[in-house]
Structure 1
Amino acid sequence: MSSEALSLPPVLAPKLHLPRLRPSIVQREALQARLDAASERRLTVVSAPAGYGKTTLVSAWATHCNACQALPVVAWIALDDGDNDPIRFWRYFITACQELYPGVGRATLACPGKSV
């Protein structure tokens, strides 16, 4: 194992789990329907100012998707300022994907000193 691999901080498991939904959340069926329609695209960006409910909306939608076999299963990554590093970001991204597809990216994670 290289010295670079030893210097990487551990992956924090809570960052890979959907946030708990409060029982009192407002259901936003129209927006969730738009996310359902957008799931056929390669990338969907949800953008709004802080405090507008982006995390709540997307985590409610993802919870629904993960419970329903007809919709795509969703991987989750909670990012913060400390994740503004390409190696750290891709480690989390690949680890989240491994929740759905075990083994994916294993070779990439084994070589943290090389570009992803």
Structure 2
Amino acid sequence: MRTLVEAYFAAINTEDFDGLAAVFAPDVEIHTTGSDPVLGRDAALAHFRAVLANYPSHTDAVTRWIEAPDAVVCEIAFTGRLADGREIRFDALDVFDAGDDAITRVSTWYDTRSVARQVRG
């Protein structure tokens, strides 16, 4: 399970969408605080392309791993730059579920108010 999640972060951090597709189950679900669920691999890839387009430079650094046989929880320190060059930083918590050697669900929590303040400037 950890290998799948490590591959997920490697793909996110390098915007390797083929690599991201490889770790997602066809029916993957993406649940993010304050947003409607994103259902299915194609929709998930489109979602991440759109989100990451806002951050020409970005890194999700896992600062803590909590592992179970079919789930992994990661504390994350996100750093990035917006298109105008301003830096953005926030902490997040991701929960990954997997089955049959693929990620089936990603749930993400973060302080949406803090992120909105940083994006607005």
TM-score (norm 2): 0.27
Which structure's residues are more often helix, by fraction? 1
TM-score (norm 1): 0.28
Q: Which has the larger radius of gyration?
A: 1
Which structure's residues are more often strand, by fraction? 2
Higher relative contact order (CA 8 A, sep 6+): 1
